[in-house]
Amino acid sequence: MSLATISPHPGTLRARLGAHINLLRLDHSVKQVFVVPGIVIAASLTDAWLDRGLMVRMLLGLAAVMAAASSNYVLNELLDAPFDRLHPTKRLRPAACRSISFPLAYTQWLVVGAIGFTLALAVSKPLFFSVLSLWIMGCLYNIPPIRTKDVPYLDVLSESINNPIRLCVGWYIVTAIVIPPISLLVAYWMLGAYFMALKRFSEYRQIGRDSAVKYRRSFAFYNEQSLLTSVLFYASTAMLFFGAFIMRYRMEMVFAFPFIALLMAVYFQLSFVEDSPVQNPEKLYREPRIMTLLAICCFVLVAMLYINLPWLARVFPKSGAPEPGHPQAALSMQSTSRLG
């Protein structure tokens, strides 16, 4: 069924307005929490202080990324409406129910995106390009003929790359001078891919292969073994690059490893539960174990950004430093001086 054949379902003006607001998925705004580590790490490594200017940039930056994400959600629902009708829960979405005006929704997609770009540009050009990248990835993920969500493995990688983009948003809220450490960006990307692959795995188990293929084309190439194999790859790669980051910039963060590993293990176990909440990450706040472990991880990570343990430099000596002139050289020098 093409979008052209879908006509809006009749209803009151108030109901129609509510349906268009639901397209924005404002309840998914919790995902923008992935911006916060970028803010905290950049502030720590650049010795930035929380002043009025930074608070204004934080408000504008968070509003910008929320607008860009909501714009992507609108596009996602419009283009996925025929497929969402085959899903046990997503069939209730506004576009799938034909409770919206599609021409108005496409205008909504562009206007909300433009608002996000305007807010980001008010902060800095690097932040603007980060928010624009988030929006462009939404287009590549949803719009044919590229539509990366239909390509096996690329569906996970192209959606989870939004996490390092969000980290860049947080980073450029604080500073527009240097780029974030590449090792941190890759670790953030692979950690997001780990969570996303488990979401795919849980969906595959719940829906069944035949129905899953009708709902998402990439499922035609997956099975439980291949999905779990990819989960292992993403987890290993994430921890490898996170280790590379802390070895160069902040060795104290090594104490967060056990808590991160436990959080990932509990999340893995949760993906086997029927109607698992990993299929809807925005609702994970209802899972006490996950939220408790997440809070502990965040506390330890933030604490280790600001607590200096000089003896760790002797236990784990650094093998080298960035070459002079490298954009990360300043960060490396600052983190080294803090260890002393």
With H, G, I as helix, E, B as strand and everything else as coil, classify residue 320: coil
pTM for this entry:
0.83
In a domain, 330, yes or no: yes
Task: List pLDDT tens digits, range 288-331.
Answer: 999 999 999 999 999 998 899 999 888 887 665 454 444 455 55
Give the count of domains, the chain. Answer: 2
| Chain position carrying tokens 């953030």 | 188
Residue 260, in any domain of the structure: yes
Cβ atoms < 10 Å from Cβ of 98: 17
Per the domain annotation, does 6 fall within a domain? no
Model confidence pLDDT, tens digit, residues 242-272: 999 998 888 999 999 999 999 999 999 999 9
Range of the domain at 268: 181-334
Q: Give 21-52 pLDDT, tens digit per residue.
A: 888 888 888 888 889 999 999 988 888 888 89
Query: Which H/E stretch holds residue 305?
Result: helix 288-306
Same domain (yes/no): 160, 239: no
Residues 208 and 147 in one domain: no
CB 279 within 8 A of CB 199: yes
pLDDT-based confidence at residue 235 (cuts at 50, 70, 90): very high
pLDDT digits (tens, 9 = 90+) for 97-150: 888 888 999 999 999 999 999 999 999 999 999 999 999 999 999 999 999 999
Please tell me whether residues 220 and 249 are part of one structural domain: yes
| Residue 185 and residue 274 in one domain | yes
